[in-house]
Structure 1
Amino acid sequence: MQASINTAVFANEIQAGRSQLSYLEELADSPIDNIEVRGELFNKETKDEELNSIYSLCQKQDWGFFYSIPEQLFKTDQVNPNIEDHLKMAEKFHIGNLKISLGDLSDISAEQLNNLKDLLSQYNVKVTIENEPNDNGTLKNVVQQIIKLRELDIPLGYTFDSGNWYWIDEDPIDAFKNLSDAITVFHLKDIKDKETVMLNDGTTDWKALINNLSANIPVFIEYETSKQELPGQIKLVNDALNKRDKK
C-alpha cells in the first residue's frame, strides 16, 4: 500500500484560483494509491467538466476516486436531505467513495435510519462518516453513534481523522484504541499547539497509528503542504507503510 492524497494539501492555491484537477495532474506518476477531492473547492460552473477529467486521470493513473462532502449526514432530527443527490453525483462521475461529517444522531429515529439504509443499498458507492472537531466529535459521542449505526446494520464506513481530536482536547491515541475496529479510511495529520505541521514536527505518534492500522485501509495526507514539501511527506508515509507491511 502507498499513501493517498486529499486535495487539502493544495487548499490555499486552489482557493486562489487554480483547479483541483490542475494540481492532481501534477501528481501523475507519484507513488500514491488514491486521491480525495473536496466539494467546497470546486467552481460550480466547471465542476461537472472537472469531475469528468479527474475520473479520466484516475483511470489513467489507477487511482481510487474519493470525494469529501462539506456537510453533516445527521442534522439533529433529520438525515441530510442532500445525501441522495450526492450519491447520484458519485455514480454519474464514477466516484467510489464519499466522506461526510457525522453530525448529530440524537433525535434521528430508527425509521429514518432504516430509510437511509435502504437508500445507501441502492447505490454502488461507499459512504463514510468522519469525526468532527466539535461536540459531535467527542470520543464518547462517536463511539455511541457508531454502536447505534452498527446495531441497525447501516452500511456506513468510518473515516478516522487523527488531527480533529486535538481541537476538542481529546487524545488521538486513546481515540484510535477505542475506534480502530471501525476505521475504514484514515486521514493523517501531525499537530503541534493545535496547528497542523509537517510530519515529525508535531506531537502525534503517527507512525504508531499507521503501525496498528489494518493493511487494507487507505491513509490520506490531509494537510496543507508546499509543492516542494509534498514529495518528502509522501515518502515518509510510504516508508512507514512499507515498514509496517513487511512485518
Structure 2
Amino acid sequence: MTTIGINTLVYMDALRNGTPQSELLATIAAHGITLAEIRREYIADDAEYDAIANAAAQQHMTLFYSVPESITVNGEPNPQFEQYLDEAARMGARNVKFNQGDIKDVDTTVLQRIDNQAAARNLTLSIENDQTPHNGTFACTQASLDHITTNGSTIGYTFDLGNWYWRDENAQQAFNRLVDYITVFHLKNVNGSQDKSQLATTMLQDGVIDWQPMLDRLSASIPVFLEFPIPAEQVAEQVDIVRHAIAHS
C-alpha cells in the first residue's frame, strides 16, 4: 500500500515559532506516520542534524531531506552538493530533493558523478517542479526529466501538485504527461485564484484540484507527502482523508 509521509512544512506555525524539526518527529509519529521529510531551511544549527537522527531512530521513522537549492549550477554539481548529501547521510535520510537548476543541459559525465556520489552514501535523489520561473515550468521540467532519462541517470522526480498554479500551468495536464517519471508525490490543494497575491493552499477537501484520481494512477511504491501548512488540530483529519483515498484507489 502507498506510504503516506508528512513534510515538516505541515507544521509551519511551529517552525516559525522556533520548534526544532527533531521535536516534530514524535508529533508526526503520533498520527501513525513513519515517513517524514525534513526541510533544510529550518535546521537552525549543526547539532540539529544529530538530534533529528536520534529522534528518527526513536520513532522508527524513515527520513527524506528537502534542500531548496539547485542540483546543478553552471553545468556542474552544486558547489555544496556533497555537503548536502553528507547532511542527509548524517541524519540517516534515504532521499534528497533538489531544485532542477540547469540539469537539463549538463554533460552525461556530470550526471554520472551525481549518481555515484549519491550511491556512495546509499541515497536516492529527486528534482522538483517548484514555484519559480527557472525551476517550475512544465517545459523545463519535461526537458530535465527527458535529459536525465536519456542519459540513464537514477535521479527521480518529486511531482508537486500545487506548484503548477504559481506558474499558470495546468496541473492535470502536467500530471498526465509526467506521471511515468514520478518517484515522489507532494500532495496539496489550492484555491485556484487567478490573482497570484491571493493564490494559496487549502485543506485537501476545499481546493480546486481533483487530486484523488491521480493517486489511483500512482504505483504503490511512490510515497505521498502532505506538504502544505495545516493547523495542528486539522492534521489528523487531513491524514485520514489521504488514507481513505488510498484505501479506495
TM-score, normalised to structure 1, is: 0.91
Matched, 1:18 2:2: no
Regions of 4+ moved over 4 Å: none
**Equivalences for residues 22-41 of structure 1 within 5 A:** 22-41=23-42
Which shifted more, 231-240 or 145-154? 145-154
Q: Which residue of 2 aligns with 1:88?
A: 86
Structure-2 separation of matches of 1:237 and 1:95: 24
1:2, CA displacement in angstroms?
4.3
Partner of 1:184: 183
Aligned residues: 241
TM-score of the pair, normalised by structure 2:
0.90
* Offset from partner CA, 1:84-136 (integer Å, 9 cap, x none): 11112222221111111112235423333333233233221111111122233
Q: Which residue of 1 aligns with 2:235?
A: 230
Report the 3-state secondary structure (helix = DSSP H, G, I; strand = E; otherwise coil) of the residue aligned with 1:112.
helix
8 A contact 2:3–2:222 mirrored in 1: no
Distance across 1 between alignment mates of 2:118 and 2:38: 21
- The residue type paired with residue 182 of structure 1 is Y
Work out the CA distance in 1 between the residues paired with 2:119 and 2:27: 36
Which range is displaced more, 25-34 or 164-173?
25-34
Shift of 1:212: 1.3
Structure 1 stretch displaced more, 104-113 or 59-68: 104-113
Q: Distance in 2 between matches of 1:61 and 1:5?
A: 14
201, 206, 209: which one aligns with 1:201: 206
Match of 1:112?
Answer: 110
Specify the alignment match of 2:43 in structure 1: 42
Q: Which residue of 2 aligns with 1:51?
A: 49
Specify the alignment match of 1:151 in structure 2. 150
| SS in structure 2 at match of 1:128 | strand
Q: Tell me which amino acid in the other structure corresponds to 2:241.
A: L
Is 1:241 matched with 2:239?
A: no
Q: Distance in 2 between matches of 1:109 and 1:23?
A: 40
Q: 2 CA distance for matches of 1:5 and 1:229?
A: 13
| C-alpha contact (below 8 Å) 1:11/1:41 kept by paired residues | no
Contact 1:76 1:106 in 2 (8 A): no
Residue ranges of structure 2 left out of the alignment (5+ in a row): 194-198
| In structure 2, C-alpha distance between the alignment counterparts of 1:181 and 1:88, rounded to whole Å | 29
CA distance in 1, matches of 2:220, 2:231: 28
> How far did residue 185 of structure 1 move?
0.6
Q: Which moved more, 1:75-84 or 1:222-231?
A: 75-84
Of all paired residues, the percent bearing the same amino acid is 33
Structure 2 Cα separation of the partners of residues 86 and 239 of structure 1 = 35
Give the alignment partner of residue 123 of structure 1, picking from 121, 138, 141: 121
Distance 2:52 2:231 in 1: 21
Deviation at 1:31, TM superposition (A): 2.3
